[in-house]
Amino acid sequence: MSRRIAQRIDLVLVGTRGQVGSALRRRLALQAPSLRETAGLDLHLVASFDRRGLAWDLAGLDLAAVEARLQPRDETELRALLSHLARAEGAPTVVIDCTASDAVADRYAEWLAAGRGVVAANKRANARGLAAWRTLQALSARHGAPYRYETTVGAAIPVIGPLRDLALRGERVQRVTGVLSGSLSYLLERLHAGESFSDALAGAERLGYTEPDPGDDLRADDLARKLLVLAREAGFAIEPDDVHVEPFIASALTEPTRWRERLVDEDAHWRARVAQAHSLGRRWVMLAEVDAAGARIALQALAEDSPFAALPAGQNLVRIETELQRERPLWLGGPGAGPEVTAAGVLSDVIDAARALAASHAQARAWGRAAA
């Protein structure tokens, strides 16, 4: 029996030493041999960079030695790499964005237009105006450039894929409701267990559950981005300003650079708030919801036996109601935060994008042979 020939796919990782980027490199190193043998994908990391360093080798970097290969970031060299990615010729390539950077998200359009796949754990690009979101979707379709971002909502929980499947079969979504923030889910579980707000927040940061700036979580900025992504995938044409947001703590919004100075006040505030909820048989939940009436994010005191209120720390849960599934909605849940689980979801997106590029490349070769 003939040996399967693996298709080479080049990878460029942005966010090399971040928690998700580091976890992804470890997971890719473990899985690359199996993917070559069983999936026919020969994945080569040819460049990896972050704000401080850059490593590249067109023959492929040793995944175990990437950090040792990093050199201080040379802007001329980086611009040359980014220009190379914006050219349509060359090996099939997937750019992986494990940052929270607007500057990196700004590049997606040119990469997609060049036929490069883009895999994003970064929510920034998809949380901009609706026209910008539609542009990226159109570029992906027009240029055969896979654009995958499943981990922007729910880490490794498949949520975006099922929403797309509903659209493909013509099943209209009427409402999406969920606990979409693993960091806030963790905080609330620890608060109801009797932990102080400041200790719970320190634990969430230590575990890598929060955004690089935890204020993004506490203002519910990060949660609003997630809801925008889900809303648009569900067919609701909403703009960022259409999302009504109540922050997790008010000081994160009113004093964005000084909210940590208010942690003692938050400890007392949350002790009283949790005690009141317990006395009523309720638990606080940070709930996000979108339907025809709009998009909303707010803390709600739900009955203790509500599926949303009974979540373990760090878990996400999404309920999708459709015209066919109203009395018995679709529920999707699982771990919603953490570098390792997010990296696993990113690798799934990388494999999916690589398969799409490999199939396109094989088809182009077949057309070339037929034309000859």
CA within 13 Å, CB half, 253: 10
Active site residue 226: yes
Q: What is the DSSP letter of 19?
A: H
Active-site residue among 190, 219, 226, 296?
226
For residues 73 and 54, the answer to whether their CB atoms sit within 8 Å is: yes
Is the separation of the CB atoms in 180 and 223 below 8 Å?
yes
Distances from the Cα of 320 to the Cα of 162, 231, 312, 325, angstroms: 10, 11, 20, 8
The Cα–Cα gap between 198 and 196 comes to 6
CA 67 to chain centre: 24
Query: How deeply is 15 buried, as exposed, middle or buried, from its count of CB atoms within 10 A (0-12, 13-18, 19+)?
Result: buried
Q: What are the strands, taking DSSP E only, across the chain?
A: 7-14, 41-49, 53-56, 71-72, 93-97, 117-120, 147-148, 173-179, 243-245, 282-291, 294-303, 315-322, 330-335
List the catalytic residues. Answer: 226
